[in-house]
A and B are shown apart, each in its own frame.
Chain A
Protein backbone atom coordinates (compact mmCIF):
# COMPACT_ATOMS: atom_id res chain seq x y z
CA UNK A 1 0.00 0.00 0.00
CA UNK A 2 2.74 2.38 1.04
CA UNK A 3 4.67 1.61 -2.10
CA UNK A 4 1.65 2.31 -4.23
CA UNK A 5 1.25 5.72 -2.59
CA UNK A 6 4.84 6.50 -3.45
CA UNK A 7 4.00 5.89 -7.10
CA UNK A 8 1.09 8.30 -6.94
CA UNK A 9 3.03 11.49 -7.87
CA UNK A 10 4.47 9.71 -10.89
CA UNK A 11 1.04 8.57 -12.02
CA UNK A 12 -0.40 12.07 -11.54
CA UNK A 13 2.52 13.57 -13.47
CA UNK A 14 2.06 11.13 -16.35
CA UNK A 15 -1.67 11.78 -16.49
CA UNK A 16 -1.15 15.55 -16.50
CA UNK A 17 1.55 15.17 -19.16
CA UNK A 18 -0.85 13.15 -21.29
CA UNK A 19 -3.58 15.78 -21.06
CA UNK A 20 -1.21 18.63 -21.84
CA UNK A 21 0.39 16.71 -24.71
CA UNK A 22 -3.02 16.27 -26.32
CA UNK A 23 -3.57 19.99 -25.96
CA UNK A 24 -0.64 20.61 -28.28
CA UNK A 25 -2.64 19.22 -31.19
CA UNK A 26 -5.89 21.05 -30.59
CA UNK A 27 -6.74 23.89 -32.90
CA UNK A 28 -7.85 26.84 -30.76
CA UNK A 29 -9.54 28.41 -33.78
CA UNK A 30 -11.97 25.51 -33.95
CA UNK A 31 -14.67 26.89 -31.73
CA UNK A 32 -17.99 25.20 -31.27
CA UNK A 33 -20.63 27.49 -32.67
CA UNK A 34 -23.24 28.64 -30.21
CA UNK A 35 -25.79 28.31 -33.00
CA UNK A 36 -25.46 24.61 -33.75
CA UNK A 37 -28.86 23.06 -33.19
CA UNK A 38 -30.63 26.41 -33.39
CA UNK A 39 -32.73 27.88 -36.19
CA UNK A 40 -31.07 30.04 -38.74
CA UNK A 41 -31.56 33.61 -37.45
CA UNK A 42 -34.09 35.57 -39.48
CA UNK A 43 -32.92 38.47 -41.58
CA UNK A 44 -34.05 40.75 -44.34
CA UNK A 45 -31.27 41.88 -46.61
CA UNK A 46 -30.76 42.43 -50.29
CA UNK A 47 -28.74 40.08 -52.45
CA UNK A 48 -25.80 41.12 -54.56
CA UNK A 49 -28.15 41.21 -57.55
CA UNK A 50 -30.57 43.47 -55.70
CA UNK A 51 -33.53 41.34 -54.57
CA UNK A 52 -34.66 41.37 -50.97
CA UNK A 53 -34.46 37.98 -49.29
CA UNK A 54 -35.13 36.50 -45.86
CA UNK A 55 -34.38 33.24 -44.08
CA UNK A 56 -37.30 31.54 -45.83
CA UNK A 57 -35.62 32.02 -49.18
CA UNK A 58 -32.81 29.65 -48.26
CA UNK A 59 -34.47 26.63 -49.83
CA UNK A 60 -33.15 23.12 -50.14
CA UNK A 61 -32.98 19.90 -48.15
CA UNK A 62 -29.35 20.42 -47.22
CA UNK A 63 -27.75 23.76 -47.81
CA UNK A 64 -24.45 25.47 -47.28
CA UNK A 65 -24.18 29.10 -46.32
CA UNK A 66 -20.71 30.22 -47.28
CA UNK A 67 -19.37 33.45 -45.78
CA UNK A 68 -17.08 35.17 -48.25
CA UNK A 69 -15.63 38.53 -49.20
CA UNK A 70 -13.33 39.97 -51.81
CA UNK A 71 -10.93 41.15 -49.10
CA UNK A 72 -10.37 37.56 -48.03
CA UNK A 73 -7.52 35.77 -49.83
CA UNK A 74 -8.52 32.35 -48.49
CA UNK A 75 -11.93 32.81 -50.08
CA UNK A 76 -10.28 33.12 -53.47
CA UNK A 77 -8.38 29.94 -52.75
CA UNK A 78 -11.57 28.18 -51.74
CA UNK A 79 -13.62 29.45 -54.65
CA UNK A 80 -12.84 26.77 -57.30
CA UNK A 81 -13.84 24.03 -54.90
CA UNK A 82 -17.13 25.78 -54.12
CA UNK A 83 -17.84 25.84 -57.87
CA UNK A 84 -17.27 22.11 -57.93
CA UNK A 85 -19.62 21.54 -54.98
CA UNK A 86 -22.29 23.66 -56.66
CA UNK A 87 -21.86 21.75 -59.91
CA UNK A 88 -22.39 18.40 -58.18
CA UNK A 89 -25.87 19.70 -57.14
CA UNK A 90 -25.81 17.60 -54.04
CA UNK A 91 -26.42 20.61 -51.82
CA UNK A 92 -27.67 24.13 -52.44
CA UNK A 93 -24.90 26.65 -51.92
CA UNK A 94 -25.80 30.11 -50.68
CA UNK A 95 -23.38 32.96 -50.20
CA UNK A 96 -23.10 35.54 -47.48
CA UNK A 97 -21.05 38.40 -48.81
CA UNK A 98 -19.67 39.69 -45.54
CA UNK A 99 -18.63 43.31 -44.97
CA UNK A 100 -17.76 43.86 -48.57
CA UNK A 101 -18.47 46.31 -51.38
CA UNK A 102 -21.10 45.50 -53.97
CA UNK A 103 -19.15 46.28 -57.12
CA UNK A 104 -15.97 44.29 -56.53
CA UNK A 105 -18.10 41.42 -55.17
CA UNK A 106 -20.19 41.25 -58.35
CA UNK A 107 -17.03 41.54 -60.42
CA UNK A 108 -15.50 38.64 -58.52
CA UNK A 109 -18.49 36.44 -59.32
CA UNK A 110 -18.40 37.42 -62.98
CA UNK A 111 -14.71 36.71 -63.33
CA UNK A 112 -14.37 33.59 -61.20
CA UNK A 113 -17.80 32.06 -61.65
CA UNK A 114 -20.80 32.09 -59.31
CA UNK A 115 -21.37 28.96 -57.22
CA UNK A 116 -24.17 30.55 -55.21
CA UNK A 117 -27.93 30.34 -55.69
CA UNK A 118 -27.70 33.91 -54.45
CA UNK A 119 -25.35 35.91 -52.27
CA UNK A 120 -26.77 37.86 -49.38
CA UNK A 121 -25.17 41.28 -49.30
CA UNK A 122 -24.31 41.89 -45.64
CA UNK A 123 -22.34 45.09 -45.82
CA UNK A 124 -22.74 46.01 -42.16
CA UNK A 125 -22.12 42.47 -40.95
CA UNK A 126 -25.43 42.38 -39.05
CA UNK A 127 -26.38 38.87 -40.16
CA UNK A 128 -22.76 37.87 -39.66
CA UNK A 129 -23.01 39.07 -36.08
CA UNK A 130 -26.22 37.11 -35.50
CA UNK A 131 -24.49 34.03 -36.88
CA UNK A 132 -21.41 34.51 -34.71
CA UNK A 133 -19.19 34.97 -37.75
CA UNK A 134 -15.76 36.35 -36.91
CA UNK A 135 -13.94 36.01 -40.19
CA UNK A 136 -14.08 34.56 -43.64
CA UNK A 137 -14.31 31.99 -45.06
CA UNK A 138 -16.79 30.27 -42.81
CA UNK A 139 -19.40 27.77 -43.90
CA UNK A 140 -22.61 26.69 -42.20
CA UNK A 141 -24.53 23.51 -42.92
CA UNK A 142 -28.27 24.08 -42.59
CA UNK A 143 -30.79 21.26 -42.78
CA UNK A 144 -34.22 21.18 -44.42
CA UNK A 145 -35.91 22.56 -41.29
CA UNK A 146 -33.66 25.58 -41.31
CA UNK A 147 -31.64 24.37 -38.32
CA UNK A 148 -27.92 25.08 -38.29
CA UNK A 149 -26.07 21.79 -37.97
CA UNK A 150 -22.45 22.80 -38.27
CA UNK A 151 -20.17 25.77 -38.48
CA UNK A 152 -16.84 25.32 -40.19
CA UNK A 153 -14.26 28.10 -40.02
CA UNK A 154 -11.62 27.93 -42.73
CA UNK A 155 -11.10 26.83 -46.30
CA UNK A 156 -13.08 23.92 -47.73
CA UNK A 157 -11.01 21.63 -49.89
CA UNK A 158 -11.43 18.01 -50.99
CA UNK A 159 -10.03 16.63 -47.73
CA UNK A 160 -12.20 18.83 -45.52
CA UNK A 161 -15.22 18.07 -47.68
CA UNK A 162 -14.69 14.34 -47.29
CA UNK A 163 -14.05 14.37 -43.56
CA UNK A 164 -16.09 17.29 -42.22
CA UNK A 165 -18.98 17.79 -44.59
CA UNK A 166 -19.99 14.60 -46.39
CA UNK A 167 -20.66 12.48 -43.28
CA UNK A 168 -23.01 15.09 -41.81
CA UNK A 169 -24.69 15.73 -45.17
CA UNK A 170 -25.33 12.00 -45.54
CA UNK A 171 -26.71 11.89 -42.02
CA UNK A 172 -29.08 14.79 -42.68
CA UNK A 173 -30.24 13.19 -45.92
CA UNK A 174 -30.93 9.94 -44.10
CA UNK A 175 -32.87 11.76 -41.35
CA UNK A 176 -35.03 13.52 -43.88
CA UNK A 177 -35.83 10.33 -45.75
CA UNK A 178 -36.85 8.74 -42.49
CA UNK A 179 -39.28 11.50 -41.52
Chain B
Protein backbone atom coordinates (compact mmCIF):
# COMPACT_ATOMS: atom_id res chain seq x y z
CA UNK B 1 0.00 0.00 0.00
CA UNK B 2 2.73 2.36 1.08
CA UNK B 3 4.70 1.80 -2.10
CA UNK B 4 1.61 2.39 -4.17
CA UNK B 5 1.05 5.77 -2.53
CA UNK B 6 4.67 6.64 -3.05
CA UNK B 7 4.47 5.54 -6.64
CA UNK B 8 1.37 7.56 -7.33
CA UNK B 9 3.05 10.60 -5.86
CA UNK B 10 6.00 10.04 -8.13
CA UNK B 11 3.70 9.71 -11.09
CA UNK B 12 1.88 12.86 -10.13
CA UNK B 13 5.07 14.84 -10.05
CA UNK B 14 6.18 13.39 -13.38
CA UNK B 15 2.82 14.33 -14.83
CA UNK B 16 3.08 17.82 -13.37
CA UNK B 17 6.53 18.22 -14.86
CA UNK B 18 5.28 17.09 -18.26
CA UNK B 19 2.34 19.42 -17.85
CA UNK B 20 4.55 22.44 -17.36
CA UNK B 21 6.42 21.47 -20.51
CA UNK B 22 3.20 21.54 -22.51
CA UNK B 23 2.09 24.75 -20.87
CA UNK B 24 5.17 26.45 -22.21
CA UNK B 25 4.57 25.22 -25.71
CA UNK B 26 0.92 26.29 -25.61
CA UNK B 27 1.87 29.84 -24.72
CA UNK B 28 4.52 30.05 -27.38
CA UNK B 29 2.50 28.57 -30.22
CA UNK B 30 1.09 30.90 -32.85
CA UNK B 31 -2.54 31.76 -32.34
CA UNK B 32 -3.66 31.15 -35.87
CA UNK B 33 -2.04 29.82 -39.00
CA UNK B 34 -2.57 31.08 -42.48
CA UNK B 35 -1.69 29.27 -45.65
CA UNK B 36 0.51 31.17 -48.05
CA UNK B 37 1.03 30.42 -51.69
CA UNK B 38 4.69 31.36 -51.60
CA UNK B 39 7.35 31.75 -48.90
CA UNK B 40 7.97 35.41 -49.78
CA UNK B 41 4.41 36.40 -48.86
CA UNK B 42 4.67 34.36 -45.70
CA UNK B 43 7.85 36.20 -44.78
CA UNK B 44 6.18 39.53 -45.49
CA UNK B 45 3.21 38.53 -43.33
CA UNK B 46 5.56 37.69 -40.46
CA UNK B 47 7.46 40.95 -40.84
CA UNK B 48 4.28 43.03 -41.00
CA UNK B 49 2.68 41.46 -37.95
CA UNK B 50 5.92 42.07 -36.08
CA UNK B 51 6.06 45.72 -37.10
CA UNK B 52 2.43 46.47 -36.27
CA UNK B 53 1.42 47.08 -32.70
CA UNK B 54 -1.76 45.73 -31.18
CA UNK B 55 -3.91 48.76 -30.29
CA UNK B 56 -5.54 47.05 -27.32
CA UNK B 57 -2.63 45.29 -25.61
CA UNK B 58 -0.19 48.03 -26.16
CA UNK B 59 3.14 46.42 -25.51
CA UNK B 60 2.65 43.56 -27.90
CA UNK B 61 2.79 43.36 -31.65
CA UNK B 62 0.11 41.70 -33.72
CA UNK B 63 2.09 38.48 -34.01
CA UNK B 64 2.37 38.13 -30.23
CA UNK B 65 -1.06 39.13 -29.10
CA UNK B 66 -3.99 36.89 -28.36
CA UNK B 67 -6.56 39.66 -28.13
CA UNK B 68 -9.52 39.51 -30.56
CA UNK B 69 -8.62 42.79 -32.22
CA UNK B 70 -5.10 41.53 -32.92
CA UNK B 71 -6.57 38.40 -34.51
CA UNK B 72 -8.83 40.61 -36.65
CA UNK B 73 -5.94 42.77 -37.75
CA UNK B 74 -3.82 39.71 -38.58
CA UNK B 75 -6.70 38.48 -40.70
CA UNK B 76 -6.84 41.86 -42.38
CA UNK B 77 -3.09 41.83 -43.07
CA UNK B 78 -3.53 38.38 -44.59
CA UNK B 79 -6.44 39.56 -46.74
CA UNK B 80 -4.57 42.63 -47.94
CA UNK B 81 -1.51 40.53 -48.80
CA UNK B 82 -3.72 38.22 -50.83
CA UNK B 83 -5.17 41.23 -52.64
CA UNK B 84 -1.63 41.98 -53.76
CA UNK B 85 -1.18 45.11 -51.67
CA UNK B 86 2.37 46.31 -51.02
CA UNK B 87 3.87 46.53 -47.54
CA UNK B 88 3.61 50.32 -47.68
CA UNK B 89 -0.05 50.17 -48.62
CA UNK B 90 -0.82 47.79 -45.78
CA UNK B 91 1.04 49.96 -43.29
CA UNK B 92 -0.81 53.09 -44.38
CA UNK B 93 -4.13 51.19 -44.33
CA UNK B 94 -3.52 50.51 -40.64
CA UNK B 95 -2.24 54.01 -39.88
CA UNK B 96 -5.33 55.54 -41.54
CA UNK B 97 -7.51 53.66 -39.08
CA UNK B 98 -5.48 53.30 -35.92
CA UNK B 99 -3.04 56.20 -36.16
CA UNK B 100 0.75 56.28 -35.99
CA UNK B 101 0.44 54.38 -32.76
CA UNK B 102 0.19 51.03 -34.57
CA UNK B 103 3.69 51.41 -35.92
CA UNK B 104 6.29 49.95 -33.62
CA UNK B 105 8.88 52.00 -35.48
CA UNK B 106 7.57 55.56 -35.41
CA UNK B 107 7.79 57.67 -38.55
CA UNK B 108 10.51 60.30 -38.76
CA UNK B 109 8.69 63.63 -38.59
CA UNK B 110 8.78 66.88 -36.64
CA UNK B 111 7.11 65.38 -33.60
CA UNK B 112 9.41 62.38 -33.41
CA UNK B 113 12.78 64.02 -34.10
CA UNK B 114 13.62 64.01 -30.40
CA UNK B 115 12.74 60.32 -30.24
CA UNK B 116 14.93 59.41 -33.19
CA UNK B 117 17.86 61.71 -32.69
CA UNK B 118 17.67 62.53 -28.95
CA UNK B 119 19.77 59.54 -27.83
CA UNK B 120 22.48 60.21 -30.44
CA UNK B 121 22.59 63.88 -29.47
CA UNK B 122 22.87 62.95 -25.79
CA UNK B 123 25.65 60.48 -26.58
CA UNK B 124 27.57 63.10 -28.55
CA UNK B 125 27.08 65.57 -25.71
CA UNK B 126 28.42 63.01 -23.24
CA UNK B 127 31.45 62.28 -25.41
CA UNK B 128 32.01 66.01 -25.75
CA UNK B 129 31.94 66.52 -22.00
CA UNK B 130 34.37 63.64 -21.42
CA UNK B 131 36.80 65.00 -24.03
CA UNK B 132 36.50 68.44 -22.48
CA UNK B 133 37.31 67.11 -18.99
CA UNK B 134 40.17 64.91 -20.19
CA UNK B 135 41.76 67.80 -22.10
CA UNK B 136 41.60 70.07 -19.09
CA UNK B 137 43.36 67.70 -16.67
CA UNK B 138 46.91 67.79 -18.07
CA UNK B 139 46.84 71.59 -17.83
CA UNK B 140 45.92 71.40 -14.19
CA UNK B 141 48.84 69.01 -13.59
CA UNK B 142 51.32 71.34 -15.25
CA UNK B 143 50.38 74.03 -12.84
CA UNK B 144 51.35 71.86 -9.86
CA UNK B 145 54.82 71.12 -11.26
CA UNK B 146 57.48 73.50 -10.07
CA UNK B 147 59.38 75.92 -12.20
CA UNK B 148 63.16 75.57 -12.56
CA UNK B 149 63.79 78.27 -9.95
CA UNK B 150 61.46 76.61 -7.47
CA UNK B 151 63.14 73.25 -8.13
CA UNK B 152 66.51 74.74 -7.24
CA UNK B 153 65.04 76.25 -4.11
CA UNK B 154 63.53 72.94 -3.13
CA UNK B 155 66.84 71.15 -3.60
CA UNK B 156 68.52 73.79 -1.46
CA UNK B 157 65.99 73.31 1.30
CA UNK B 158 66.25 69.56 1.16
CA UNK B 159 70.05 69.77 1.36
CA UNK B 160 69.87 71.87 4.48
Contact = CB atoms under 8 A, between A and B. Distances in A.
Interface in A120-156: 125, 129-132, 134-135
Contacts of B76: 129
Interface of A: 28-29, 31-35, 99, 125, 129-132, 134-135
13 contacts: A29-B58, A31-B99, A34-B95, A129-B73, A129-B76, A129-B97, A132-B97, A132-B98, A132-B99, A134-B55, A134-B69, A135-B56, A135-B69
Contacts of B95: 34
B32 interface: no
Contact of B97 (A28, A34, A99): A34
A11 B55 CA distance: 36
Interface of A, secondary structure class, is loop
Contacts of B55: 31, 132, 134
Interface of B, secondary structure class, is helix
Contacts, number: 34
Interface of B: 55-56, 58, 68-69, 72-73, 76, 95-101
B60 to A, nearest CB: 13
A125 B67 CA distance: 14
Contacts of A32: 99, 101
Given A125-B72, A129-B76, A134-B69, A34 B98 contact: yes
B58 A34 contact: no
A125 B75 CA distance: 12
Contacts of B97: 34-35, 129-132
Contact of B68 (A35, A99, A130): A99
Nearest to B99: A34
